[in-house]
Structure formats: structure tokens, C-alpha cells
Amino acid sequence: MPEQTTADNLRALPSVDALLRTPEALALRERVGAEHLTTLARAVTEGLRAELRSRSEDPRDEASGDGEGVTTDEVWRVEASRAALLAEAARRLAHAARVEESRGLRRVINATGVVLHTNLGRAPLSTAARRAVSREAAGYCTLEYDTETGARGRRGARAEELLAEVTGAEEGLVVNNCAAAALLVLSVLARGGETIISRGELVEIGGDFRVPDVMSQSGSTLVEVGTTNRTRLSDYEHAMTERTRLVMRVHPSNYRIVGFTASPSLEELARLARERGLPLYEDAGSGALLDLAPHGLSDEPVIRESVAAGADVVTFSGDKLLGSAQAGLIVGRREIVGRLRRAPLYRALRADKLALAALEATLDSYRRGEAAREVPALSMLAATREEIESRARVFVRRLRKRVSEASMTFEIVEGASAVGGGSAPTTHPPTALVRVTHSTLSASALDERLRRGSPPVVARILNERVVIDLRTIAEEEEQELTDALASL
Ligand SMILES: *Cc1c(COP(=O)(O)O)cnc(C)c1O
């Protein structure tokens, strides 16, 4: 076969029009849209042209293929014909469309055992919350409409009522997330004045929520008291001046100071603040509505207890331990919550109808006393190692029927799950992991195949093996996971 030159290849490069007429391109037309498909086709042909040119500058350059279909190298060396280049361009076009689609929001199977996995959307919604989102809120709904009177209603009114009921607070308010809640509270209560906070609580949570930054954004001046590990009530007392507007306590969430530590209780702080006529604000972060100490989460503030201890306003997330949609929840004294609701900033931070629908349904589970059973994040955290192990046994038995031992083996080993979402960093619920070993694929290759499947399965690699933690996998997902593993 005659050797093709780069110049020949450049001449044989398909036109955008020729590429758009290939069966691959025609099949993509409807899904991608004609205009965008042309943009992709142009990028593909330009990419090929640039690669051919760079080869002409350095003839020894070995372009490497990406492992799928014909490598560009083979195309050039073996069959540098118009047809081969066209086929290569069509393959790249389909690949580009697939990559774009996979970048959208998709359901995944969370096999990591991290219950509130921030990268995977934190809390999975309860059945009732999913139904509320899709059946009640997705279309027109009573977001700001009162069907009794036919007049305008207040957004979030039902969620606010439920929040007050399940926390024992006078009133509740819902905004977009807990960072927004903190910004609102600090801006409305302390702008232009000072906020007192312990040095041990100036933390960064989840990458970009930093207490000092939110404080400066709010226009309040931070007054640090005490030391990193020990802060006394008298430290707060000595810092109080006529410029003080607020006393703030922050739950350090993803961070723990251990050893020689001390800080006043919330009750003590509340008593001091009340004596001085100052409001006390607690940013509780994860904000458990139930006491999760029986499941090893003894450090998480229970919102009802914070309210009872005398905090005037408390903020927490909707999608952490509460187990619902992303939201910033605020509870507290009527006068304070009213001021927050009337502030212009509230309008910029308020929650949308989908989040409110999920939240109402989830809070209703708490009100009925059924949250431990109905809210997935709570039942996942509560699952014992024994329960997970007995599920794992059935799961592995089913897999062994589908997959020959020569190609893949499955063992059950002891391990630990995690809470995630910046909550309870030192709690690692014991679990039973399914360890997968493939006869030819490495752990990272196996992990990649699972991740690129449909739906993607996100697993963990532990000691060079892929491990699957059933704690974070719903029973309804087990069949899909079995299929995904059996098809490797
Ligand atoms: C997680 C957390 C936040 C931020 O909450 P988002 O809902 O993610 O905005 C703020 N404060 C504390 C103490 C937290 O734990």
C-alpha cells in the first residue's frame, strides 16, 4: 500500500457538510439539535486538521488514540483515505455528543457509603418528598396562593409552620441554603455593629463557607474572643460594648478540637446575652431534628434543644442531617424572624417551589414521628453493620449466579461508612463492604467502567480493590447494580 503524505491526508479531510451527512450525524440530529450539531462537526473537523498539520511539522510525532474504535494513528498510517477520515470524524462526533450529555445532571448509584455526599447531591429525598416535587410543585401550584380565600398567600407558609412545630420555636423561615441564612441573620441583626464569636469557631465548612468571610460580607465587624481551644463566658462578657449587636455561636461541623478544651454552654451564653439585651444566634449547620446520639452522632446540635436553651435564632441546612432538599432553615423568636422576612435581602435569598415542596413533605414525616423510617438519610445512618451484612450476603449470592468466578470474585469485608456533608467528621459507622476483584481489569479500570455506565455507579477504591457499600444504596437500586456488575 502506498505511503500517504500529510498533504494527501489534509486533502482527504471531510468537509463539515460531508460529516453532517453521515449516518452517525443523522442519528444525532434530533437529540443534539441541528445548529449545535454543526458546531460540534466544525470542532471535530478542525481538531482533525490541526492534528494532521502538527504531524506534518514533526513527522515522527506519534498521535495517540483514546482507546476507542480506530486510533487516529492507525487512520493515518494504514488507510489514509477519505473514507477512513470520514469514519474517524463521525466516531469523534458521536463521542463528543456523548461526553456533552454525560456532563448534565444525572441520577447516580452512590456505592461510596458516604450518606450526605456533597458531590452527589447530599441527602436523597424521601418517597413523599419526591412525590411532592413531581406531583404538586412541578406545574402550577399554590406557591403564593390561598385556595380558601382566593387571595395571595405567603410563600413557604406551611414549611414555616411545620418548622416551628418540630423545633418548638416561635417562628420559622426558609431561604436558599444555610450560607444564605447566616448572611441574612448577620446582615439584618448586626450590620454596622459588632458580632462576638469564639476563636475556636472561626471555621471553614465545605470549601467555601468561611465564617469570617460571611461576616465581612454582611457588614458586621467580627470580634474574636478566647483562644482556639478554650473560651470562657467572661471572655464574651469583657468583649461586650455599646457597639455589640449580636453574639454568635457556630457549630464547627467538619472540624473537632479535642483535648484541653472548654466553652460555655449555650444556656450560659443565652443568659449572659439576655442580661445585656443582645440576641444570641447559633449556626447549627447540619442541624439534627432528632437526637442521633444512638447512631454515633453525639456532637450534633439538636435544633429543639438549641431553641430550648435560649438561642434567639438558629440556622441549619435542609439537605444535611434533616435529609431533605437544599435549603437554609431559620427558626427563632417571632420578632427576629419577622425582621428577617421583611428585609429586602430575604427576597434575593428565598427558596424555590421545588425545594419548598420537598421540605414540607420531609418536615411532615418528622411531625408525624415517622422520620426515622421515612427519611432515607436517617434510615441509612441508622442501619447496623449486621443489617448491611445480611443484605450484602443476598446481593453477593445473586451476583455469583450471574457472573462466573473466573471473571470476577466478590467477598464481604468489614469497613466503615461516613456521614459526609461536613457533619460528624469523627463518626464512621461500621459497615460490611462488598469487595470486587476482576480477573483482568485493575481496580481503577473497574471503577472507571462503573462510573461511565448508565446510570453511573460511584464506588470507592480501598487497598487497590473496588468496594461497594450497600448503606447508601436503596433496595430498589440493587437490581441495576447487579446488572452493571454483570455486564463488565
Ligand atoms: C454546612 C454548613 C453551612 C453551610 O450550609 P449550606 O446549606 O451548605 O449553605 C453553614 N454553617 C455550618 C455550621 C455548616 O455546617
User: CA 266, CA 16: separation in Å to the nearest integer?
Assistant: 68
User: CA 43, CA 32: separation in Å to the nearest integer?
Assistant: 15
Encode pLDDT of 203-262 as tens digits: 888 668 899 999 999 999 999 999 989 999 999 999 999 999 999 999 987 778 888 888
The pLDDT value recorded for residue 74 is 56
Residue of 119, 176, 209 to test ligand 1 pocket, by largest number of atoms within 8 Å of CB: 209
> What's the whole-number mean pLDDT along residues 334-338?
98
Query: Do the Cβ atoms of 137 and 357 come closer than 8 Å?
Result: yes
At residue 77, does pLDDT exceed 60? no
Question: How far is ligand 1, taken at its centre, from the CA of residue 110, in Å?
Answer: 22
> What's the whole-number mean pLDDT along residues 129-151?
97
Task: For 109, list phi and psi in degrees, rounded to 5.
Answer: -95, 120
The pLDDT value recorded for residue 186 is 98
At residue 60, does pLDDT exceed 70? no
> What's the whole-number mean pLDDT along residues 131-142?
98
- The atom number, within ligand 1, closest to the CA of 328 reads 7
> What's the whole-number mean pLDDT along residues 365-394?
98
The pLDDT value recorded for residue 437 is 97
- The atom number, within ligand 1, closest to the CA of 283 reads 13
Question: How far is ligand 1, taken at its centre, from the CA of residue 451, in Å?
Answer: 28
Residue of 175, 197, 205, 359 to test ligand 1 pocket, by largest number of atoms within 8 Å of CB: 205
User: CA 420, CA 455: separation in Å to the nearest integer?
Assistant: 22
Q: What angle do CA 71, 98, 325 make, to 5 degrees?
A: 145
| Average pLDDT of the chain to the nearest whole number | 93
Q: Whose CA is nearest to atom 14 of ligand 1?
A: 285
Q: Whose CA is nearest to atom 2 of ligand 1?
A: 285
> What's the whole-number mean pLDDT along residues 36-49?
96
> What's the whole-number mean pLDDT along residues 403-408?
94
Band (80; pLDDT cuts 50, 70, 90): low
Band (363; pLDDT cuts 50, 70, 90): very high
The pLDDT value recorded for residue 246 is 98
Q: Measured from the CB, is residue 205 less than 6 Å from ligand 1?
A: yes
The pLDDT value recorded for residue 261 is 87
Secondary structure (DSSP) of 421-484: TTB-TT---EEEEEEEEESSS-HHHHHHHHHTSSS-EE-EEETTEEEEEGGGS-GGGHHHHHHH
At residue 414, does pLDDT exceed 90? yes
At residue 84, does pLDDT exceed 60? yes
How crowded is the C-beta side of 68, counted as CA atoms within 13 Å?
11
- The atom number, within ligand 1, closest to the CA of 206 reads 1
Question: How far is ligand 1, taken at its centre, from the CA of residue 178, in Å?
Answer: 5
Task: For 260, list phi and psi in degrees, rounded to 5.
Answer: -80, 85
Q: Measured from the CB, is residue 163 less than 6 Å from ligand 1?
A: no
Strongest mean pLDDT among 100-114, 243-257, 417-431: 100-114
Question: How far is ligand 1, taken at its centre, from the CA of residue 301, in Å?
Answer: 13
**More confidently predicted of 348 and 72:** 348
Encode pLDDT of 445-483 as tens digits: 999 999 999 999 999 999 999 999 999 999 999 999 999
The pLDDT value recorded for residue 68 is 53
Q: What is the helix (H) or strand (E) element at residue 327, kind and residue range?
A: none
264 Cα distance to chain centroid: 33
> What's the whole-number mean pLDDT along residues 406-418?
97
Among the ranges given (9-13, 182-186, 196-200, 346-350), the one the predictor scored with the smallest mean pLDDT: 9-13
Q: Measured from the CB, is residue 328 less than 6 Å from ligand 1?
A: yes
- Sheet harboring 221-225: ordered strands across? 171-175, 328-332, 313-317, 280-285, 244-250, 194-198, 221-225
The pLDDT value recorded for residue 76 is 56
**More confidently predicted of 166 and 254:** 166
The pLDDT value recorded for residue 67 is 46
**More confidently predicted of 57 and 227:** 227
**More confidently predicted of 299 and 157:** 157
The pLDDT value recorded for residue 34 is 96
Residue of 213, 217, 250, 253 to test ligand 1 pocket, by largest number of atoms within 8 Å of CB: 253
At residue 319, does pLDDT exceed 90? yes
Which residue's entry shows cell 440576641? 279
Question: How far is ligand 1, taken at its centre, from the CA of residue 154, in Å?
Answer: 26
Identity of residue 374: E
Grid cell locating 307: 431553641
The pLDDT value recorded for residue 63 is 45
> What's the whole-number mean pLDDT along residues 312-337?
98
> What's the whole-number mean pLDDT along residues 116-128?
97
Among the ranges given (299-308, 388-397, 421-430), the one the predictor scored with the smallest mean pLDDT: 421-430
> What's the whole-number mean pLDDT along residues 118-131?
97
Q: Measured from the CB, is residue 317 less than 6 Å from ligand 1?
A: yes
At residue 1, does pLDDT exceed 50? no
The pLDDT value recorded for residue 4 is 63
- Residue 461: CB atoms within 10 Å: 13
Separation in Å, CA 119 to CA 230, 422, 427: 34, 12, 19
Encode pLDDT of 3-23 as tens digits: 566 777 788 899 999 999 999
The pLDDT value recorded for residue 78 is 47
At residue 70, does pLDDT exceed 60? no
Percentage above 70 pLDDT, the chain = 94
At residue 314, does pLDDT exceed 50? yes
Question: How far is ligand 1, taken at its centre, from the CA of residue 157, in Å?
Answer: 23
Question: How far is ligand 1, taken at its centre, from the CA of residue 177, in Å?
Answer: 8
Separation in Å, CA 389 to CA 52, 267, 434, 464: 56, 42, 9, 22
At residue 323, does pLDDT exceed 60? yes
